[in-house]
Amino acid sequence: MALRVLVIDDHADFRRLLGHHVTTRWPDALLHYYDPLVSGRLPAAFPGTSYDIVLLGDPAGGKDAVEWVRALRSRPRFPPIIFFGSGEERQIVAAVKTGAEDYLTRSRLIHGRVVEAIEQVLIGGRAAAGGTGGTGGATVESSLAGLPGLPAYQLIETLSEGEISSVYLTRERAAGRLAVLKVLRQVPDSGGEKHFDRFLQEYELIARVDHPNVVRIYNLGIADDHAYIAMEYCSRGSLKRQIREGIGSDQAYALLRVIAGALGALHEVGIFHRDLKPTNVMFREDESPVLIDFGLAKQAHFQAGLTGTGAIFGTPYYMSPEQGQGDPVDQRSDIYSLGIVFYEMLTMKKPYEGDSAMSVIIQHREAPLPQLPDDLDRFRPLLAGMLAKDPADRFQTVRELLDWCPD
């Protein structure tokens, strides 16, 4: 029997694109295109049982398509839904929790991934049975990018992929909770032993840190020659997003103290973050900030940034002068990076920018700190103590920093 597919999206071009992905793999597929802007919601009496699968794009009818998932999955024997959204992490979780079988980011569609998602839904247990109607919390039974040694995790979405590591949003099969899975790609016999050792040693220490603003580590180890770590998922996005939306000076000051406290807990067990930046501060559902991503293989990324032509790879914006020069770093380097983040929270600007990584690194070493606006001048002494070029002139410890800036 031919595959029967209902495609729902506000945009005709995207509906046709999804249809092309389907018919390339299943030439005899029967496609029905539905325009919610023209036709509105699917009628309440529409059961959907004449279709094998629904491809649902966001927005639908100009509104959040997650609400469509919730309504449609409440209908008995409604077919499985694959959700195509913005890729924003909160939406991924909401779509899956309300019953979407899989989630794909519409701006990063790859034919193989679309086909794989459909195939996995069609062969998956309850999906093949037409679903159970509104049970929610379903995830696609997909392998983790060719990593069969991690069967305890169900893939929901690939969050990032790099030469050294990749990050996935997953669900733990046993506990049922969401987890971010970070996988280090180098295998030991290809020269990656040093990365493996550092990865496991540092995260074993971090897993023992009991601090409310340090990410919770669920599990770590090696599977099929890949080191991995499973950690808590923070659904409210990163500090970068909050900076973009604007942060009041009092809130920025409060966040500075919280992040500093988390850094201090790491420093007490001998861990230096080495890559503190807004994207490495995440927020839980209750809006509490969480420090993540503790310097894994940053030297390799740094070298890549220096050898590139004209591209800045993110980290140099927040590097201390000594780190930019390749010198040994300690807790004072993290304090410098925190100062840069604080400056950005206050002003919505990075203090040093340039057309190459090296030009930014040189400014960290030589350029004076740009003047703060008059209404923020009260923070000038604090920033001076965090952003001194010479580490000896900075706050020497997080405790010293916190004592200097009380509640």
From first to last of the 407 residues of the chain, give the pLDDT tens digit. 688 999 999 999 999 999 999 999 899 999 999 999 999 989 888 888 889 999 999 999 999 999 999 999 888 888 999 999 988 877 888 888 888 888 898 888 888 788 878 887 776 533 333 333 333 333 333 456 555 578 888 888 777 776 667 888 888 888 888 899 888 765 444 455 666 666 677 678 788 888 999 999 998 887 766 788 899 998 888 898 889 889 999 999 999 999 999 999 999 988 888 889 998 999 998 999 999 877 543 433 333 344 333 333 346 899 999 988 888 889 999 999 999 999 999 999 999 988 878 889 999 999 999 999 999 999 999 999 999 999 999 999 999 999 998 77
Are 402 and 257 in contact by the 8 Å Cβ rule? The answer is yes
Does this model's pTM top 0.85? My answer is no
β-bridge mates for residue 102, sequence order: 82
User: What is the rounded distance in angstroms from the CA atom of residue 141 to the CA atom of residue 152?
Assistant: 11
User: What is the rounded distance in angstroms from the CA atom of residue 353 to the CA atom of residue 369?
Assistant: 12
Q: For the chain, which domains are there?
A: 4-142 (3.40.50.2300), 155-232 (3.30.200.20), 239-404 (1.10.510.10)
Q: What is the DSSP letter of 52?
A: S
Q: Which of 9, 52, 102, 275 is catalytic?
A: 275
Strand stretches in 118-270, DSSP E: 153-161, 165-172, 178-184, 217-223, 226-232
Are 79 and 131 in contact by the 8 Å Cβ rule? The answer is yes
Sheet of 53-57, strands arranged across: 30-34, 4-8, 53-57, 81-85, 102-105
Whether 10 is catalytic: no
